[in-house]
Amino acid sequence: MVEPQISHTDLRETIDKHFEWLLVRENGKTFPVRCNEIDFATTDDRTHFSFLDDLGLHTWRLNNVEHSNGEIVLDVAGAFGKNRETLRLVPREPASLLAAEVELARLKKANEIAHVLAAGVPGTKVVRVALSNENGRIAHIFFKRGTWKHGAMMADVSGTMTHEALLATAILWRQKLASRKKDPVSEVCIAAEKRSAKNLQKLHALMTVGVQGYVKVFETRRTKEPPEIIELPVKKVRDLWRERPRKLSLPHVPFPSETAQRMIDLAPEKIDVIYSKQGETLRFLGLPFARVRSMLGTEKAWFGTGKEKRVLNNASWQAFCEFVEDLKNHRQPGAANKRHELYRAAPEAWLEAILRQNIKLLDPNLILSPIYNQFRASSDKIDLLALRRDGRLVIIELKTTPDREAVFQAADYWRKIELQRRSGNLRAIRAFGDAEILDKPALVYIAAPALSFHRDFEFFARMLVPEIELWRWELHENWRGKIKVIARRDYRDFADQNGRHS
């Protein structure tokens, strides 16, 4: 510790060494401040710390200061020593410097993968290593096998990409490389860590023979020294059903708690509940806005849509009621302000909430699972699971903005649901009550506003194996006001007519 009146000058010099600092408060709130917006002043043997933010100038009495590891820790208090708090000032590096460090780290990882490839695959010579021009998240490794064959490998060096995104990127990259006049590349390899590689291998099995021929999946194994890179065998659809299905665990009593029911009563037609082992999540037209947990036999609740959550109790009940009124005003089709956060938030969940209330708006022949809420919480991120009148299972994927990976996400859900159907788990948990589930593969519906289908949707839809019957459902753009189907297409028949098996 150093006395603030003694370190005043030193602190000023330290502050001026960095153009921008991040002010971190005890409640977790952060705020960027420039060095010239921070001031230390000594009057009457007391040092005051001041900073400027969007709300104006704040001045605190400075009790103690600690400077270590580049950070400045300030013990401050308000007038008369009240509201004592510890603040942290963390220096912020320039964005350009941070970006350069990230790029170097990713390039290093890309070169490590290239080294493992050259060492582990006989006859392979690495020609060039680079990062993707778009965002630098993907390593591009070009190599030669023998004296003539050019190849390319890609890998996610950011650790942020899903296996669906990796496959979509690889297909589009191969299309680009194959059309080059000089040194065209006919095959593209994807290198991934164990978990991602296994998921890729399963998704790869749902692609046509043509795609399987020009996209290869490799697993990077680091359990040995030196690391290895191994090409995974190509699986067929029938190989996927040998996997042990994930157990479906559902709540024993899927009824709202007393606290949740009191909250639901404020807008019963617009609020639903998602049950999980951690408690209940309440949603207003799909937007999570409150949570209820049972702790030591006592129900605890919080509400709020952003990072700030308030405890729900007798003192805050009126504020909660006012919050629900805000939801009613802003999260509705005729909202006056279409740019309000409550209107724009979670649009896909809003669409899902509308269809959950009446799935026949999409297809009159469908019924939803009676235990939809619990099943949704237990089965990854599937939007809706329904049954046709003839007993055919239907997986419904919803989109409200163009999503390039939508087709592959739906295919992955199809695999998981089919595994549950074939194993008899859906029948065992009575997912549709007494209704019988037909012994045929599930259908896949992808529904979205007409202008919200990605331009590559049809390109990717043609790449799925014929076992996946994919339907595209186009909705009217004003879906919040009224769900109206304006077009639909069966991509399986369309693709088969155009040589899907080629």
Please report, for the domain that includes residue 476, its CATH number.
3.40.1350.10
Q: What is the pLDDT of residue 497?
A: 47
Total number of domains in the chain: 4
Q: What is the pLDDT of residue 380?
A: 54
- Of 322, 344, 366, the one marking the end of a domain is 344
Let me know: does 129 contact 140? Beta carbons within 8 Å.
yes
Let me know: does 414 contact 465? Beta carbons within 8 Å.
no
Q: What's the pTM?
A: 0.78
Give the 3-state secondary structure of 113-178. HHHHHHHHCCCEEEEEEEECCCCCCEEEEEEEECCCEEEEEEEECCCCCCHHHHHHHHHHHHHHHH
- Classify residue 246: in a domain, yes or no: no
Q: What is the pLDDT of residue 3?
A: 41
Token readout for 367 is 């019924």
Are 365 and 313 in a shared domain?
A: no
* Nearest-10 Cα torsion for 399, 401, 407, 413: -40
- Classify residue 149: in a domain, yes or no: yes
Are 396 and 490 in a shared domain?
A: yes
Choose among 188, 221, 191: nearest CA to 207: 188
Beta strand 443-449 pairing with 469-475 = parallel
Are 354 and 310 in a shared domain?
A: no
Q: What is the pLDDT of residue 33?
A: 84
- Of 92, 116, 146, the one marking the end of a domain is 92
Are 410 and 452 in a shared domain?
A: yes
Token readout for 105 is 């780290």
Q: What is the DSSP letter of 207?
A: B
Are 128 and 196 in a shared domain?
A: yes
CB proximity list for 481: less than 8 A, separation 6 or greater: 333, 334
Alpha-carbon span 309 to 78, nearest angstrom: 25
User: For residue 201, what is the domain's CATH number?
Assistant: 3.40.1350
Domain boundaries, position 471 = 347-497
Let me know: does 190 contact 170? Beta carbons within 8 Å.
yes
Let me know: does 166 contact 200? Beta carbons within 8 Å.
yes
Alpha-carbon span 432 to 366, nearest angstrom: 11
- Classify residue 252: in a domain, yes or no: no
Q: What is the pLDDT of residue 392?
A: 95
pLDDT tens across the length of the chain (502 residues): 344 444 567 778 888 888 888 888 876 678 888 888 888 877 767 788 887 766 667 788 888 888 877 788 888 887 776 778 888 888 887 666 667 778 888 999 999 999 999 988 888 899 999 999 888 899 999 999 876 688 999 999 998 899 999 999 999 999 999 999 888 999 999 999 999 999 999 999 999 999 999 999 999 998 878 889 999 999 999 999 999 888 776 656 578 999 999 999 999 999 999 887 778 899 999 999 999 998 777 899 999 997 778 999 999 999 999 999 999 999 999 999 999 999 999 999 999 999 999 999 999 999 987 665 545 544 456 689 999 999 999 999 999 999 999 999 999 999 999 999 999 988 888 888 889 999 999 999 999 999 999 999 999 999 999 999 999 999 999 999 999 999 999 886 544 444 443 3
Q: What is the pLDDT of residue 135?
A: 82
Are 109 and 211 in a shared domain?
A: yes
Let me know: does 243 contact 235? Beta carbons within 8 Å.
no
Let me know: does 95 contact 114? Beta carbons within 8 Å.
no
Are 229 and 101 in a shared domain?
A: yes
Token readout for 93 is 């590096």
